[in-house]
Structure 1
Amino acid sequence: MHALALLAAGVTVMGAIMVITRRVAVHAVLYLVVTLLALSVVLVLLGASFAAMLEVIIYAGAIMVLFVFVIMMLNLGQPDSQREKEWLHPRAWLGPGILATIVCTELLYCASPLSGPVRLPLPITVHDVGLSLFSRYVLMVELVSFLLLAGLVTAFHIGRHREGGH
């Protein structure tokens, strides 16, 4: 079980490094999706299956769609046809594909009867998460909302500045 956790953590760290070092924004988004999925595997192995589901649904799903939408809206860089041809090269998909294959293989191994009985920690329930968010960590939740508001205002100003042609 420790080897699976270390493998998932390694994929998470490798994906995060690739997100930071990519020059093309769409490639960074692909690596970010793989990183978020690998992080959800780590959360499942720690017994936080509810947090892992939230990670996949909210971050790897909804937030990544938002990122792709913003990238399309800002239309940074090269002309569209040249950029789309570059995305179709297999080398653009090779790294995220390999990391995603490792994560999927790990999940299939954990779900198969070959892995034997798996002793996971006690699961974290929705009730536990709600109590933590609105009692112990309520200040952190409010600070994150201010951070998201600052990001929204920044994106608005970048889009407005670009539209005006200044």
Structure 2
Amino acid sequence: MFGLPMRERDAEFTRFARDSAATLKRTAYLLTSDRDLADDLVQEALLRTYLAWRRVRAGEATAYARRTLVNLNIDRWRKRPAVPAEVVERPDSRNEHARVDDHDQVLRMLASLPAQQRRVIVLRYYNDLSEADTAAALGISTGAVKSAASRGLAALRAAQSPASEGSNS
């Protein structure tokens, strides 16, 4: 009798993990810019989600795992000293590697943002969360989300402007 619910719970979690792992990994990668670290964060978030699986409400598992992922990343930042973002050279012209260059540029631009702004931008715009859901995921107020999003987007636009001007000339 006890084994059956455990098997059902494990099967339910396995389906959840399979269905959500790719999205969680993309989110982790955007937060960290490091594939190996993203994999580690996702594995730890899934482990913690599994351990809390009985308490996780139906339909809220993805939000729970995402919040766990974000919190793990915050903890990682707290344990490490701040490292200044590297200066990025902007390409003068487009080439056959433009898509890779654009992808790398987006990651570097995200990495240049303060941690709070980066988390808000990733959750709000990449994960398409509402302001309220972003605030809940980060444990901050909706006003703080609005402020961080506004500042983060302004910083991204400012960083993008020289590249845009250079490609139009």
Do Structure 1 and Structure 2 share a fold, with TM-score over 0.5? no
Say which structure is richer in helix.
1
TM-score by length of 1: 0.29
TM-score by length of 2: 0.28
